[in-house]
Amino acid sequence: MNATIKDICRATGFSTATVSRVLNNSPLVTDTTKEKVQAALDKLNYRPHHAARALKLNRTGMVGVVFPELDNGFFTEVLRGVDEMASEFQIHLLTAFTHGAQDEEELITRMVREHLADALILMHLTLKEDFLRQLIRWNLPIVLIDRPLKDNALVSVGIDNRHGMEEMTRHLLDQGHRRIVFVSGPSGTYDAEERLSVYRKTMKAAGVPVPASSIWQGQFTEESGAYLMKQFLTSGAPLPDAIFAANDAMAIGIHAVLREAGLQVPDDIALASFDDINVARHLDLTTVHVPMRLIGHEAARQALSLIEGRDVSRRIVLPTRLVVRGSSRLARAPAIPHP
């Protein structure tokens, strides 16, 4: 059972009013009193009743989290990070998943207008910039994941896509791969567009052409990766040296289709991706590690700081790193000689 204010009063000999003043950082109590009360709080492991405090401050005690879906290892890990940080501060989560629906804006507008939460965390949604800027007028704390605004008008938490993409692209080239297919994510999403842009620039800097046929349009899902791979195999075109998927989910779908077709990774074709979810390790998949849990921690931390009116960093960019496993090695002679 959690300790109560009355327990703290009995342990310190102070009145309820005095203990409450300490809990609310009142300047009317002395440092000595604060120290005695704090010692009792620590000893008895006191935790404030969040619901009562939220009611007093006219708050819901909730943080809204809007994700595209849960059936994705990346989103699951990020959400776990959000939940860990929220639990530490006794904040409840109100989660909503759009599942690719066209009414993302309607859902978010309702959550804002009806004040269903004290802050919102929005991730990987295909929201137009004009809509995001309209949300600012409601004065509700909002944190974007992987979707910064150029002027940082809304707080955002993201990753260093540029570094991760450059490292992976150069790794594949260093392995001797030249005919590389890049599987991009859905158009209109920040991560997909930035990763494709960096890929093109890195290939151009290396003097390797990127024909239109070597860019496949995926949806960041296993199903889209599998579909694209099946379509390619049906075409009868020669296999590329490597496939670089813009996220692990698509790479997993691609890997499954290759296996069903009797093709081996990397003996017949190399495969690489981005995220480093748990399944990637089991598939021995070379990928770019993204600190998914930390993204969730930072997003929740920023949301809670905004609720409390504290200063925050408007743009947080977390590092990525290359993780080389067995799927990317060159197992056959490259179709185009190394320049």
CB 287 within 8 A of CB 247: no
- Among 86-90, 199-203, 278-282, 316-320, the minimum mean pLDDT is found in 86-90
Cα distances from 96 to residues 100, 301, 308, in angstroms, run 12, 19, 23
The pair of three-digit structure tokens given for residue 276, joined into one six-digit string: 């480093």
The conformation of residue 304, written as its DSSP 8-state character, comes to H
CB atoms near residue 260 (< 10 Å): 12
The per-residue pLDDT for 308 is 87
Report, as an integer, the average pLDDT of 285-307.
96
Split at pLDDT 50, 70, 90, the class of 22 is confident
CB 288 within 8 A of CB 168: yes
* Amino acid identity, position 25: N
Angstrom distance (rounded) from CA 333 to CA 339 = 14
Angstrom distance (rounded) from CA 82 to CA 301 = 8
- The CA-based angle 45-49-54, given to 5 degrees, is 145
pLDDT reading at 331 higher than 70: no
pLDDT above 90 coverage of the chain, percent: 58
pLDDT reading at 154 higher than 50: yes
The pair of three-digit structure tokens given for residue 9, joined into one six-digit string: 């009063």
What residue spans define the domains of the chain? 5-44, 56-159+292-319, 161-290+323-328
CB 247 within 8 A of CB 275: yes
CB 133 within 8 A of CB 101: no
CATH class of the 161-290+323-328 domain in this structure = alpha beta
What's the full length of the chain, in residues?
339
The per-residue pLDDT for 104 is 82
The per-residue pLDDT for 333 is 53
Split at pLDDT 50, 70, 90, the class of 260 is very high
Report, as an integer, the average pLDDT of 188-206.
95
Domain 56-159+292-319 = CATH 3.90.1150.10: no
Split at pLDDT 50, 70, 90, the class of 339 is very low
CB 320 within 8 A of CB 161: yes
Structure confidence by residue, pLDDT tens digits, 89-140: 888 899 988 876 567 888 888 888 888 899 999 987 778 888 889 888 888 9
Report, as an integer, the average pLDDT of 311-325.
95
Among candidates 141, 144, 176, which has minimal Cα distance to 157?
144
pLDDT averaged over every residue in the chain = 89
Radius of gyration of the chain (CA): 25
Is residue 92 exposed (0-12), middle (13-18) or buried (19+ Cβ within 10 Å)? middle
Please determine whether the domains at 56-159+292-319 and 161-290+323-328 fall in the same fold group of CATH: yes
β-pairing, 119-123 vs 215-217, is unpaired
Structure confidence by residue, pLDDT tens digits, 25-45: 666 778 899 899 889 888 888
pLDDT reading at 337 higher than 60: no
Is residue 188 exposed (0-12), middle (13-18) or buried (19+ Cβ within 10 Å)? exposed
Report, as an integer, the average pLDDT of 236-261.
98
